[in-house]
Amino acid sequence: MRNWVSSLQVRLMAGFVLALTLSLAGVSLYTSAEAQRQVDRFEQEANQARAERIQTLVSRYQTSRQGAVGGLQPAIEQAGRLYGLHIVVRDAAGEVIGDSHHERFQRTSGDSRPPPGRRPWGFPINQGGREITAVSLEASDLGDGPLEPPPSRISAALNRSLLFSGFAAGAAGILLVSLVSRQALIPVTTLTAAARRLGRGDLKQRVQSGGSGEVGELARTFNSMASDLERAEEQRKTMVADVAHELRTPLTNIQGYLEAMQDGLVEPGPEAISTVHAQVLHLARLVEDLRLIASAEAGTLSLDRNPESIEELVRTSVEGFRARADASRVGLTLELTQSFAPLDVDRTRIMQVIGTLLDNALTHTGEGGSISVSVDAGPVNGDVRVSVEDSGEGMAPEVLGQVFERFYRADASRARSTGGAGLGLTIARRLVEAHGGTISATSTLEVGSRFEFDLPFSPIHKRTTEGPEES
């Protein structure tokens, strides 16, 4: 019962009934009051016209017949029956010379005076500047009533018509609202059922998103949310599989060496211990990388910010990779076109980002290639852009869109010689974003790739321009 009462369709119908009731009540009150006012005005004008006709009738008898009243009595009796009025005509001395209800009053009291509480109204008839006759009018209390239909019937008929039309309109409106609301709520009902199935784990649920109204927008939003949830679930499963894969390799190696030592197949000498130690270090780095990503995504990553020279950080990082570049016969250059004010950054984290980009460039740049590192002004006023461009193998567009995803590696075989665990670029993106910056990549197959990230200045820092510096 509670669900039925609280349903949207019932609430829509209840709201319509309430609005219709208030509207009809307002219209009825206004129309009834206006009709009554018009009826009262019409009755007033009709009474005035009747009084004028009665005045003309009495004046004609009094002035043309010099007080002869023989024909006056039948005339006012007829007028009294016609207009539903008690007409009394008195002369200047106050004597009654005509009474439309003469016979009735003679039978009841023998007096033509009105009953107590009755308020007569009338008018004098003057001749020669003096009053010769007074006419008194009041509503008749005869049971047969006037021959003319009373105007009050119009108001009563109008009120009845409003009442009947209100009931008819209410019934038709409720039926129409019920049909329209049921039709309109079909997408909502469908969406509710799909949301329930989605909540139970069926992430492939989708609904028709036709229409441009609010319900259509809600359906499109639901489909987008379902797609995001499905994609997130797939990424979660992939991440779990990737973590298991990355952890299994060093753990398997450690297990193998330890079992071999237990079986006496391998001597627990310095070489074996060094190999196991290297696997433990790799495992520790992997766990630390995962912790770092989780902290950055949760917004709990702590940064040790201090004013640092971005040129000095880039130069130090480049020099740290120069020996490896020389050994691979890859040209490594640094271009500094201008100087910048110190940035409030975490020195270790920014050098980690630059090191990741340089390591990635060296991994995918063959012998005889080149890597160029530059520091320039960013597209937004006050930003600093660090770029690492190589002449390596490049990436296809579908690969480029996933290079910052966790555990993604361009080499489907996942050979460790072509890269690490696939977390470096993900960590680099999270670290740049933690500093309020952005990172992006562009690439062309067989031409090379370009990675660049922008770091914002603090409001107190201003860029200064000095002579270019190269190394």
Q: What is the pLDDT of residues 1-17, one digit of tens each?
A: 445 555 666 767 777 77
Over residues 247-253, the mean pLDDT reads 83
- Residue of 377, 456, 388 lying closest to 425 (CA atoms): 388
Q: Band the pLDDT of 177: cuts 50, 70, 90.
A: confident
pLDDT at 331: 93
Rg (CA), the chain: 52
**Prediction pTM value:** 0.52
- Inform me whether the pLDDT recorded for 104 exceeds 60: no
The reported pLDDT for the residue numbered 409 is 59
Question: What confidence tier does 107 reach under pLDDT thresholds 50, 70, 90?
Answer: very low
Q: Which two tokens stand for residue 149?
A: 């239909």
Residue 150: predicted pLDDT: 62
pLDDT band at 469 (very low <50, low <70, confident <90, very high): very low
pLDDT digits (tens, 9 = 90+) for 395-405: 888 777 778 87
| 3-state DSSP assignment of residue 373 | strand
Provide the pLDDT confidence category of residue 49 given band limits of 50, 70 and 90: confident
Distance CA 424, CA 357 (A): 8
SS3 of residue 94 by DSSP: coil
Q: In 3-state terms, what secondary structure has residue 305?
A: strand
Phi/psi for 67 (5° steps) reads 90, 0
The pLDDT of residue 96 is: 76
**pLDDT surpasses 50 at 67:** no
Integer Cα distance of 434 and 337 in angstroms: 26
The answer to whether residue 100 scores a pLDDT higher than 90 is: no
Please give the DSSP secondary-structure letter assigned to residue 374: E
Work out the average pLDDT over 179-193: 77
**Helix locations, 185-309, DSSP H:** 186-199, 214-262, 270-298
Q: Which long-range contacts (CB under 8 A, 24 or more apart) does 78-83 make?
A: 79/50, 79/53, 79/54, 80/140, 81/142, 81/144, 81/146, 81/147, 82/146, 82/147, 82/148, 83/50, 83/54, 83/146, 83/148
The model's confidence at residue 466, banded by pLDDT at 50, 70 and 90, is very low
| Residue predicted with more confidence, 69 or 29 | 29
More confident: 470 or 286: 286
Nearest to 120 by CA among 149, 159, 82, 89: 89
More confident residue, 457 or 71: 457
More confident residue, 386 or 85: 386
Question: Residue 152: which pLDDT band, with cuts at 50, 70 and 90?
Answer: low
Calculate what percentage of the chain has a pLDDT beyond 90.
15
> pLDDT: is 40 or 196 the higher one?
196
The pLDDT-based confidence of 440 (bands split at 50, 70, 90) is: very high
Concatenating the DSSP letter of every residue in 131-159 gives: EEEEEEEEE---TT--SSPPTHHHHHHHH
Distance from CA of residue 446 to its chain's centroid? 49
Q: Which of 2, 43, 286, 255 is nearest to 148 (CA)?
A: 43
Helices (H), strands (E): how many in the chain?
12, 12
- In sequence order, the 6+-apart residues with CB closer than 8 A to the CB of 22 are none
Element (H, E) at 332: strand 331-336
Backbone angles phi, psi at 100, to 5 degrees: -65, -25
* Residue 95 near residue 110 (C-beta atoms within 8 A): no
Q: If pLDDT is split at 50, 70 and 90, which confidence band does 449 have?
A: very high
**Higher pLDDT, residue 235 or 168:** 168
Q: What is the pLDDT of residue 178?
A: 76
Amino acid at 455: L
Query: What tens digit of pLDDT does each residue of 377-387 get?
Result: 877 777 899 99
Least reliable range by pLDDT among 47-51, 354-358, 429-433: 47-51
Nearest to 318 by CA among 331, 328, 308: 331
| pLDDT, mean of residues 127-142 | 60
Given pLDDT bands bounded at 50, 70 and 90, which one contains residue 131? low
Q: Mark residue 329 as left, alpha or beta (left: phi above 0; alpha: psi -120 to 50; beta: remaining).
A: left
- Examine the pLDDT at 59 and tell me if it is beyond 80: no
- Give residue 260's pLDDT: 87
